Amino acid sequence: MIEKIVVAVEKLSKWSGKTCSWLILVMLAAMGYEVMARYVFSSPTIWAHELTTLLYGGYCLLVGAYTYLNDEHVRMDIVYNRFSRRTKAKLDFFTGLLTLGFLDVFLFVMTKQAVLSWAALEYSTYSPWEPPIYPFKAVMVVATLLLLLQHIVWLTRNFAVMLNKVGFLTEAPIKEEF
């Protein structure tokens, strides 16, 4: 049962990361259009900068679970890499409990903010374009939920290594290249 859940979460993390990575191309197209409009036609847009900011924010959030799955987040490797696998698992598990608490609180707060934003149909006031913000706040909830699920899988794997269990959970997830 746990194996099926772990595999499902990891597949979801892979799918979300790969799918959302295409937002970079949309962002680059919008930025390229802005550069052309501004410097070639002397007619800057009112929407391109804010759109690329929102797309990049969404991109960074939505690929977080994929980055986590592939163990690509930043850490102090100078000291960390000197430890045994079991000691690393212990450190990761206990610091991971703190992260779990943070992600739970963040998910609660973001869900509340997203619901309020959708109820008010909130719009941005940072540019004359005034795009809707409520979809982006919903993306933050989805991204946090994906990251939380991947974090729980990561905690489960570390717990199995701490207990010296041999099997599926103590094997590293298969890293996939883009």
DSSP track, 97-138: HHHHHHHHHHHHHHHHHHHHHHHHT-B--SSTT--B-HHHHH
Q: How deeply is 9 buried, as exposed, middle or buried, from its count of CB atoms within 10 A (0-12, 13-18, 19+)?
A: buried
End-to-end CA distance of the chain: 29
pLDDT at 177: 60
Angstrom distance (rounded) from CA 72 to CA 63: 11
Q: Is residue 176 part of a domain?
A: no
91 domain residue, yes or no:
yes
Q: How many domains does the chain have?
A: 1
Calculate mean pLDDT across residues 81-89. Answer: 89
Question: How far is residue 143 CA from its own chain's centroid?
Answer: 5
Q: Which residues are bridge partners to 132 per DSSP?
A: 123
**pLDDT given at position 165:** 79
Q: What is the pLDDT of residue 112?
A: 98
CB atoms within 10 A of CB 17: 22
pLDDT at 76: 74
Residues of the domain holding 41: 2-170
Establish if 177 belongs to a structural domain.
no
Q: Is 81 or 113 the better-scoring residue by pLDDT?
A: 113
Residue 44 lies in a domain: yes
Q: pTM, whole model, 2 decimals?
A: 0.85
Q: Is the pLDDT of residue 93 over 90?
A: yes
Mean pLDDT within 33-59: 93
User: 134 pLDDT exceeds 90?
Assistant: yes
**175 lies in some domain:** no
- Domain membership of residue 74 (yes or no) is yes
**Residue among 22, 68, 59 at smallest CA distance from 178:** 22
Among all chains, which residue has been given the structure tokens 């930043």? Answer: 74
For residue 70, is it within any domain? yes
Highest mean pLDDT among 21-25, 41-45, 171-175: 41-45
Annotate 34-67 with b (16+ C-beta within 10 A) or e (fewer). Answer: beeeeeeeeeebeebbbbbbbbeebbebbbbbbb
* CA separation for the pair 35, 58 (Å, rounded): 22
